[in-house]
Every structure is written in C-alpha cells, then in structure tokens.
Structure 1
Amino acid sequence: MTDKEKLSVTVDHDVVEAARAAVSAGRSGSVSAWVNNALHRQLAHERRLQALDRFIAEYEAENGVITDEDIAEAERSVRAGAIVVRGKRSHGAA
C-alpha cells in the first residue's frame, strides 16, 4: 500500500462539483481519489514538459537555436503531408 498524506486545499466550486459528480456517476471511488488522479496527471504532464525542455536544450546545444523560420518550415512540411479526414483543408495549407 502506498503512503497517503491528508491535505487541506481550497478548490474552485465547479471543480468540487465535477469531482462529486464523478463519484455519483461511479467514475471515481471518492473525491479524494478523483483529486489524487488529477494530481498524478499534472505530475506526469510537468515531467513531460521538463523532458521536452531538456531535449530542446540538448538539440539546440548541438544544432543551434530553433528559429521561428525553422518552426514555420516544420509546420509547412507537416501540413503538406497531412491527410484531411474531415472538413476542408485550410486556405493556408499547402
């Protein structure tokens, strides 16, 4: 069993209501479990952002700073290879 720590926090009313609704609908065992899962997702998100920061720093150290033009070129390249599955291709797309 993992260690748990009791915590007192102030949360926006609509978020508390969403947590209670999740419990009522059987999507979560408790409000605490719902909040704990949300905190786990936030932690995972922050770790991915930190890994991305490290990757970009290493890439730029080896290849130079990524410019706005580099980003625009990558976007053009991705759009050119995209397959439209719904709707219409935007006017700006290649």
Structure 2
Amino acid sequence: MTDKDKLSVTVDPDVAAAARAAVSSGRAGSVSAWVNEALHRQVDHERRLNGLERFLAAYESEHGTITEAEMADAVRAARAGATVVRGKRSHGAA
C-alpha cells in the first residue's frame, strides 16, 4: 500500500452526496478515492494556472500589457472561427 495522509474535512452536503453516489454507482472505489482524484485535478489545475501566469508575465514584459481592446479582438476572432454544435449563433457573435 502506498503512503497516504489521513485528513478530516468538512464538505457541503451535496458534495458528500455526489461522492457517495459515485461510490454506489461504481464510478469510484470509495469516497476517499473520489476525493483524492478531485484533489489531483485541483493540483493540476493550479499548476496550469501558475504556468499561464508565468507565460503572461513574460509575454507582457516583452510586448507590453495586453489591452481590453486586444482581448475583445481575440474573442471576436475566436467566435468567428467557432463551429456551432447545437443551437444558433448569437446575434452578438461576429
């Protein structure tokens, strides 16, 4: 068995119910396994955010601060190239 740290945590009732449902449906081996996987995802998420922050800081130090107008242009370009999978393209999309 691998080394584990035992924790005591307090969670919202709906989260506890979701964990128990995952176990009862066979999607998780135990509540501990379900929580451990969620914590792994959170660690990975924070690692990626930290990497993005470092990238943006380096980019902006070389090219200057990204402006609101540049971000709006990027959003418009992304929306223009997007494929609508269901529903209709909104009127505000370029």
Question: How much does 1:87 deviate?
Answer: 2.0
CA RMSD between the two structures: 1.2
| Structure 2 match to 1:15 | 15
Which structure 1 residue ranges, 4+ long, deviate > 3 Å from structure 2? none
Q: Distance in 2 between matches of 1:93 and 1:17?
A: 39
Number of corresponding residues? 94
TM-score by length of 1: 0.91
Identity of matched residues, %: 72
| Structure 1 match to 2:91 | 91
Partner of 1:33, secondary structure, is helix
1:74 aligns with 2:77: no
> Structure 2: which 5+ runs fail to align?
none
Deviates more, 1:50-59 or 1:77-86: 77-86
Q: Distance in 2 between matches of 1:16 and 1:87?
A: 34
TM-score by length of 2: 0.91
Q: Distance in 2 between matches of 1:49 and 1:87?
A: 31
Paired AA for residue 61 in structure 1: S
Q: Distance in 1 between matches of 2:82 and 2:18?
A: 36
> Structure 1: which 5+ runs fail to align?
none
